[in-house]
Amino acid sequence: MDVHLAQVVDAPELQVNVDREMAAGLGLTQRDVASDLLVSLSSSGQTAPNYWLDPAKGVQYIVAVQTPQYRLDSMEALAATPLATQGHDAQVLSNVATVTRGHAAVNVTHFNVASTLDVQANVEGVDLGAVADAVDREIARVRPTLPRGTTIRMKGQVQSMRDSFLGLG
């Protein structure tokens, strides 16, 4: 049996924590800092597209601004990301924010608004009913040890099979 989590729950990430008072003193909001960082890392092509018209060919080209990846080879390089300030001297990210390493889920799935962890299983050589019964026994065994508010639901083909059998009954 092949059992795995559908989500990657422990991926490395960089967390940028903006000192809102320091940023406000420079005329910046947390949103300004986040936008400048987004443009630096992902380009301005999606957030604020600019076009250049080639007069000779009459063709428009998108002009995107982005920090080259080879220049972002450390957390210190990221902290040196320039920020657009109005009426103040040029500032860099490290003047208004701290950058730390952390871990987070890559994607978060939901069912009826609640966050979920999806355990997927592929089986071979065994019928679905026998596998469902074995999983039900395992769920019954661990249910008393789960934190309050935790629920376990079996979905997918098992749910369809059980609904069909209930309808036939």
Q: Dmax over Cα atoms in the chain, in whole Å?
A: 76
- pLDDT value of residue 146: 92
Taking Cα atoms as reference points, which of 60, 23, 33 lies closest to residue 45? 60
Its pTM surpasses 0.75: no
Write down the residue that tokens 């355990």 correspond to. Answer: 119
pLDDT in tens, 73-115: 898 999 999 888 777 678 899 999 999 999 988 888 888 888 8
Exposed e or buried b per residue across 19-37, where buried means at least 16 C-beta atoms within 10 angstroms of its C-beta: eeeebeebebebebbebbb
**CA pseudo-torsion sign 136, 137, 139, 143:** positive
